[in-house]
Amino acid sequence: MKNWVVFAFISMLFAGLTSVIAKFGLKNITGDLGVAIRTSAVLIFVWVNVLLFGHTKHLPALTKTDLLFLVFSGLTTALSWIFYYKAIKIGEVSVVAGIDKASLVVTILLSFWLLREPLTLKMVVGVLLILAGTIVLAWK
């Protein structure tokens, strides 16, 4: 199995844990405060990881364009997290997480359009199934 597939499955596991753990932490605070605390923990942990493994040596390769896209990605992440935490604070985590994971549809379509990645019949069927599942989850 390729490393990136292993990393993707590990990411899936931790992402699944994240939502449930966060719901416990939001019991007495707002979603905005919760996401601020979470983001602070992420910031510290990721910088420790970068420093421990010597990834700062790659800083000279960072271009202004790279930085611009990474900052823009950070802003979209922040908006996603802010609205996600508002949703899990007042909604069912299982439903919110399911709807949130439908972002995969947006990712697939944008990667086809902007990154010129292939869009296969299998992916189209998967996207349609994800959309159907999202509608089922959101339907009350």
Per-residue pLDDT of 30-39, as tens digits, reads 999 999 999 9
pLDDT at position 1: 83
| Token pair recorded at residue 10 | 């590990």
- pLDDT (tens digit, 9 = 90+) per residue, 2-22? 999 999 999 999 999 999 999
Task: List the domain boundaries for the chain.
Answer: 3-101
C-beta separation of 35 from 81 below 8 A: yes
What's the pTM value of the predicted model, to 2 decimals? 0.87
Question: What is each CA distance from 131 to 104, 114, 120, in whole angstroms?
Answer: 10, 21, 17
Q: Are 77 and 100 in contact (CB under 8 A)?
A: no
Model confidence pLDDT, tens digit, residues 39-89: 999 999 999 999 999 999 999 999 999 999 999 999 999 999 999 999 999
CA distance 4 to 48: 22
Indicate whether 140 pLDDT > 80: no
